[in-house]
Structure 1
Amino acid sequence: MSISNAFQVFLDEAPEHAKAWMSAVHGLDQASALDKKTEELAYLAVLAAQRLTSGIPFHVQSAKRHGASREEIIAAVLIGLPAVGNAVIQSLPVALEAFDAAPNGGL
């Protein structure tokens, strides 16, 4: 899967911090009652609302691998429109490019 350059630098240059961070991420993942597709779609909504587009390709590819459709990706990105306004539309091209580039059936 494609991770952002910034995250790759984090992994390479701060391995102990990255290890601690990934431990927390995995713990939170295990604690979630959501299935992986729903979790990834929800996370995409948060990324879009926060304008954190660098993580979107990775999470779109993961959502697609877990069965998300193109329409579900669009809906996840745009679900924040009422709460945060049209700022979420900046994430739509990034998300769709990642979805269209990811192989069908998973990565």
Structure 2
Amino acid sequence: MPVDSDSAIAWHRAQLKKLRETLKNIETARFTVGVSTQASRTGKTQKAIAELEQKIRQSQHIIAAYERQTRRPLATDRRSLASVSWSSWNAQAAHSRGSNSR
């Protein structure tokens, strides 16, 4: 997992991990134990799953928007490089990162 300088993005990444684990546990328990015949319990489970999926989508959307703004392109063809806004990319920071890896 990448290290984030933005604490809000780091929080969303942690939440995403927790929410996915919770969703996995609910769905696993639902199929291991079997779907209850009680309509209210099934409705609560469905509602909980829907809420978790919504929260996961929100966090994914926020993280994706952040990554689109901060990551430099991985492709080096002319078309990919021409479509990137380089004003947000700091060449000074990239140079210092490269010298630290030596």
TM-score, normalising length from structure 2?
Answer: 0.30
